[in-house]
Amino acid sequence: MKKIYNLLIVLLLFALNIHGEEPNIIHNGLGFKYTPFIEQVCNYLKINNTQIIIKPIYSKAIAGRAVKLSSNYYIVYVNRQSKEYSTYFILAHELTHIQQDIYEEWDLTQPTTIITSYNIRYTNVEAEKTERKAMKNGYALSKKFNKFKYW
């Protein structure tokens, strides 16, 4: 009986390993104080087995942007001139876009907005929904998790 029990445990561990949630590999070029926040938000959004590179940009036009390199491999650009609270918002917003891509709510290779010289508009109704959710998460998660720091 004990042997069967041990075998069941081994099989269970094996199954957990196959379907287990592997941690993400995050290369954070923004500064390591943001890493616990990024990890908490990824955890909350159920982003697993994913490689994410966070890169600072210096731009007057863009606050942030998420780019898909291949499946489970993304770059998040964050405007380094943003205030600290905005940086948390941008991270949570862009990580939501990655979640939407992983869970097939929105294909990240498709633009959600069209920017012209006089306005910004959504490409379609689904794109607007996608952005609204990312905005909502951006505010909510930046408030919820910005206390997670190393010191």
Q: How many binding residues for Zn ion (CB under 5 A)?
A: 2
Q: How far is the CB of 131 from Zn ion (least distance, A)?
A: 5
How far is the C-alpha of 37 from the C-alpha of 25, rounded, in Å?
A: 14
How far is the C-alpha of 90 from the C-alpha of 97, rounded, in Å?
A: 11
The answer to whether 52 and 76 are in contact (CB under 8 A) is yes
One of 100, 134, 142, 146 touching Zn ion (CB under 5 A): 134
Residue among 129 and 144 whose Cβ is closer to Zn ion: 129
**95 lines the binding site for Zn ion (CB under 5 A):** no
**90 lines the binding site for Zn ion (CB under 5 A):** no
Residue among 101 and 131 whose Cβ is closer to Zn ion: 131
Please identify, among the stretches 14-22, 28-36, 40-48, 134-142, the one whose residues bind Zn ion according to the rule CB under 5 A.
Answer: 134-142
How far is the C-alpha of 80 from the C-alpha of 12, rounded, in Å?
A: 45
How far is the C-alpha of 120 from the C-alpha of 134, rounded, in Å?
A: 16
Residue among 33 and 68 whose Cβ is closer to Zn ion: 68
Q: How far is the CB of 118 from Zn ion (least distance, A)?
A: 20
How far is the C-alpha of 5 from the C-alpha of 8, rounded, in Å?
A: 5
User: What does the CA dihedral 109, 104, 50, 61 come to, rounded to 10 degrees?
Assistant: 40
Q: In terms of C-beta distances under 8 Å and separation of at least 24 residues, what long-range contacts does 31-34 make, across chains too?
A: 32/150, 33/149, 33/150, 34/87, 34/88, 34/91
**63 lines the binding site for Zn ion (CB under 5 A):** no
Residue among 26 and 127 whose Cβ is closer to Zn ion: 127
Q: Which residues 103-132 are close enough to bind Zn ion by CB under 5 A? A: 131
Q: How far is the CB of 67 from Zn ion (least distance, A)?
A: 12
Q: Would you tell me which residues interact with Zn ion (CB under 5 A)?
A: 131, 134
